[in-house]
Amino acid sequence: MAETDIYAALKKYFGFTRFKGLQEEVVKSILNRQNTFVIMPTGGGKSLCYQLPALMQEGTAIVVSPLIALMKNQVDALRSLSSEEGIAHVLNSSLNKTEVKQVKSDIVNGITKLLYVAPESLTKDEYVEFLQSVKISFVAIDEAHCISEWGHDFRPEYRNLRTIIQRIGNDIPIIGLTATATPKVQEDILKNLGMQDANTFKASFNRPNLYYEIRPKTKNVDSDIIRFVKQNEGKSGIIYCLSRKRVEELAQTLQVNGVKAVPYHAGLDGKTRVKHQDMFLMEDVDVVVATIAFGMGIDKPDVRFVIHNDIPKSIESYYQETGRAGRDGGEGHCLAFYSYKDVEKLEKFMSGKPVAEQEIGHALLQEIVGFAETSISRRKFILHYFGEEFDNATGEGGMMDDNMRHPKNKHEAQDDAKL
């Protein structure tokens, strides 16, 4: 495939003149029909990596994705790029007979370039048999970390994908994509999909514009948060809390203190949630106090701070949540309050779970404790956790954390840890 063809297609289908990061290399690898593994942070542009080669090739690409909403979004976006309604389809249990017939005929007629399916739909014999009879260009597995118990979103159905793909056809290239950077999860993915030979493309997870700070959590945490928010008046921020109760309380405390804040958690009714989310996006309020229910798919580029009232359950979660700050490349202050008591609380939450899950949860917690208590560069710590070497002297954002700006001597560091 000539280079010019790829750029022409990029322009034709997406209207873009350049690739982002490693996209071009990924696209070439897929067009060469090689197994390919893509690790890029959220917002890195993973979808285009498989959409473009799917559009350029003969046959239909199967895209496995865990959420109906995500699939629908992508299908709508693809349809808006094309005059052909059937260019992309979702195949799932919500379709009636006539709709399924239409999908099948579009595939048979070579109109459908991307077929989105949930992993559980792929277990249906009827679908597998049909897919055996048509030309499949490749299978893309989005959010591939769902394969791994070490990931933050384990889905048992994802573990059968390899077997199903083999049933559908021999020699179908597999493309795995994830924003999870931990080496353990990556190993799991490659092993489970039987593609240790895959071409692997990993983007850097460094976010040079984010400033990382951990403070000991004391009984004065409310006033610490109020002071911080007041010093950043008019700026957008998210405050994450572990419990819904704490979300409600803290939102109220902030309101009483003159901060424009709203609560957000899964216990609120849908209408209220949408309203509060919109108020934040439209800047009717500055701050949203939320549980982790808030954030997935929310794209506000100018979030200036993310505060963690409680330490998250893993470095992965911390990275995802703090990652919502400074998407526009501008300032992003990430402030977390840490107390070992909260870690014990998190341990207790897990106690009802199966032993294997508890062990994994415990190991992940130990890592975040290490991160909270470290006196080395926080950026270095995070990136090391993600298997990336970072040099503070030369790396971008090397001085952007509390430990680098205000180095403590060892004694102080240890005293802090006991607070």
Which residues bind to ligand ADP, rule: CB under 6 A?
16, 18-20, 23, 40, 42-48
What are the backbone angles phi and psi of residue 94, rounded to the nearest 5°? -80, -10
Q: How far is the CB of 140 from Mg ion (least distance, A)?
A: 11
Question: Measured from the CB atom, is 20 or 244 closer to ligand ADP?
Answer: 20
In the bound complex, what is the minimum distance in angstroms from residue 273's beta carbon to ligand ADP? 22
For residues 186 and 25, the answer to whether their CB atoms sit within 8 Å is no
Instruction: Name which of 46 and 246 has its Cβ closer to Mg ion.
Output: 46
Q: Does 113 bind Mg ion (CB under 5 A)?
A: no
Asked whether position 145 contacts Mg ion by CB under 5 A, the answer is no
Strand runs (DSSP E) across 3-113, as ranges?
36-39, 60-64, 88-91
State the minimum distance, in angstroms, from the CB of residue 144 to ligand ADP: 12
Q: Is 247 exposed, middle or buried (0-12, 13-18, 19+ CB in 10 A)?
A: buried
- Tell me how far apart the 2 most distant CA atoms of the chain are, in Å: 71
Judged by CB under 5 A, the stretch of 40-48, 163-171, 228-236, 339-347 that binds Mg ion is 40-48
Rounded least distance, CB 16 to ligand ADP, Å: 4
**DSSP, res 337:** E
d(CA 109, CA 120): 25
Interface with Mg ion, residue 246, by CB under 5 A: no
CB of 145 to ligand ADP, least distance (A): 13
Of residues 6, 46, 144, 400, which one binds Mg ion by CB under 5 A? 46
**Nearest residue (CB) to ligand ADP, 17 versus 394:** 17
Stretch that binds Mg ion, among 42-50, 206-214, 217-225, 354-362 (CB under 5 A): 42-50
All residues at 6 or more sequence positions from 124 whose CB lies less than 8 Å from its CB, including other chains: none
| Total residue length of the chain | 419
Closest approach, Cβ 239 to ligand ADP, in A, equals 24
Choose between 46 and 333: whose C-beta lies nearer to Mg ion: 46
Q: 42 contacts which partner out of Mg ion, ligand ADP, none, CB within 5 to 8 A by kind?
A: ligand ADP
User: What is the strand order of the sheet 136-141 is part of?
Assistant: 88-91, 114-117, 60-64, 136-141, 174-178, 36-39, 199-202
Whole-angstrom Cα distance, residue 76 to residue 129? 27
* Pairwise CA distance, residues 174 & 161, whole Å: 10
Of 42 and 82, nearer to ligand ADP (C-beta) is 42
Residues in contact with Mg ion by CB under 5 A are: 46
